[in-house]
Amino acid sequence: MKVTVRERVILLNALPKEGDILSLRILRKLREDFSFSDEEQKMFEFKFNPELGQVSWDPNCSDVEKEVEIGVRGLEIIKETLESLNKQKKLNAEMIGLYEKFVEKAESL
């Protein structure tokens, strides 16, 4: 599945930090796949603002996509995470595209 720089950053922050051992192993793999290589960090000109706790990058690179192989259980974890955030009313505007991609699109298949 193709994910943009923005989607990768959001997913890295949204993925659960706890779970059963099998889920944690899948989450570790997802985090590795969504993470950014040294080369990508230079290319996207990542900057961290410690005062705000935010990461920024060259806005011209926001739509650069990376193909990430996500297994069935990985997709389920992402979907469950986004659904849970939705039920808790903790989704934000930046997550709408991810919700549509991983929850609404998956339900229509």
CA-based end-to-end distance of the chain: 15
Judge whether 11 and 75 are in contact, CB under 8 Å.
no
Quickly tell me which residue has 């979907």 as its tokens: 79
Residue ranges covered by each domain of the chain? 2-107
Give the type of residue at 42.
K
What pLDDT was estimated at residue 88?
97
28 Cα distance to chain centroid:
13
Q: Measured over all CA atoms, what is the biggest interatomic distance in the chain, rounded to whole angstroms?
A: 43
Q: Which residues of the chain have pLDDT under 70?
A: 106-109
Q: Tokens 């699109």 sit at which residue? A: 105
- pTM for this structure? 0.89
